[in-house]
Amino acid sequence: MSVLAAIAVLIVLIVVHELGHFAAARLQGIHVNRFSIGFGPTLLQYQGSETKYTICAFPLGGYVAFPDDDPESPIPPDDPNLLSNRPILDRAIVISAGVIANLIFAYFLLVGQSLTIGFQEINYDSGVLVPEIIEDSDSAATKAGIKPGDIILKVDELDLGDSPKSLELLRDIIQDSPDQSLKLTVKRDEKIISLLVTPQPDAENQGKIGVMLAPNGELTRRHTSNIIEAFNSGAAEYQRISGLMFQGFWQLISNFQDNADQVGSPVAIVAVGAKLARNDLGNMFQFGALISINLAIINILPLPALDGGQLAFLVIEGVLGKPLPSRLQDGIMQTGFVLLLSLGVFLIVRDTVNLALFQ
């Protein structure tokens, strides 16, 4: 059931994205001849007065098609309501509307979460929790005698305190201290003990001790009492998630060689969503918002076959005063589509194999 919930969230986000393109076109009176959710064989279809609506066998994708690209369209090529005959601004609105729809939808998901299940918060206690030892018997933590459930209160004479920054502070100290002994003051059950740990250097000469770290505190849910507060809480959470997302993308791009294995396919995304749904179905609000913002950021990248690539063509057209030759544009878009499709197939196969091996 959790897997179906994660797939349903992805399908909804795809529908929202394509509806953005479709609505932006139709509200401007631009012809649209097809609205499709999914790819491959058609399962359901409905022919409207102008647009054919279809649902296809593979729902993790979709598109809005225009008669400009259909040589059999009965609409004459000089029709002012063809997308290609509209001013650059009109076309830019249509192309960017999918991204805008995903960003707006993510915000309202968070507002909905604020009104219903609320946002998780932590009432912080002193120190940083060690929930799990993640490496073998040779790890620095094991040698030092650190155990799951320990709470690290101090490093040398520095009190970690009871704030959201405690975990980051401890992590930074460990990473900055390879091959240097650190005295930890640890709370274990009701006892206070001292342990000496020597972080081991990794490939980048950053210290590590082989443990998971987590905030020490009690999880609670903060609910809003009225719609105004819900909008404010949703905006604050939206800003937090967006900041983390852009930070993650920047780290991925700036050090792609080391972080390439973090790129995931829809299979990996569904797996993460299913895990979150098993823990708490309410997590699907935040999962949906995160993936919706993610989808918007990816689509706005200036890559062929993505919305950002088409916007890049419009920018070039605006600078040159005329569009690039259609044959050149088609060649770039087709090459980009093949490359993205190949990457997608590779990631799906990789993530499926990983799931099968590590179930």
What are the residue numbers of the active site? Answer: 18
Q: Three-state DSSP class for 248?
A: helix
β partners of residue 134: none
Whether the CA torsion 344, 349, 350, 352 is positive or negative: it is: positive
Query: Quick one: which H or E segment has residue 188?
Result: strand 182-188
Distance CA 106, CA 122 (A): 23
Contact 302, 311 (CB under 8 A): yes
- How would you write 199-212 as a 3-class SS string? CEECCCCCEECCEE
Q: State the alpha helices, DSSP H only, in the chain.
A: 2-27, 88-115, 140-144, 166-175, 227-254, 256-259, 266-279, 283-300, 307-320, 326-358
β partners of residue 359: none
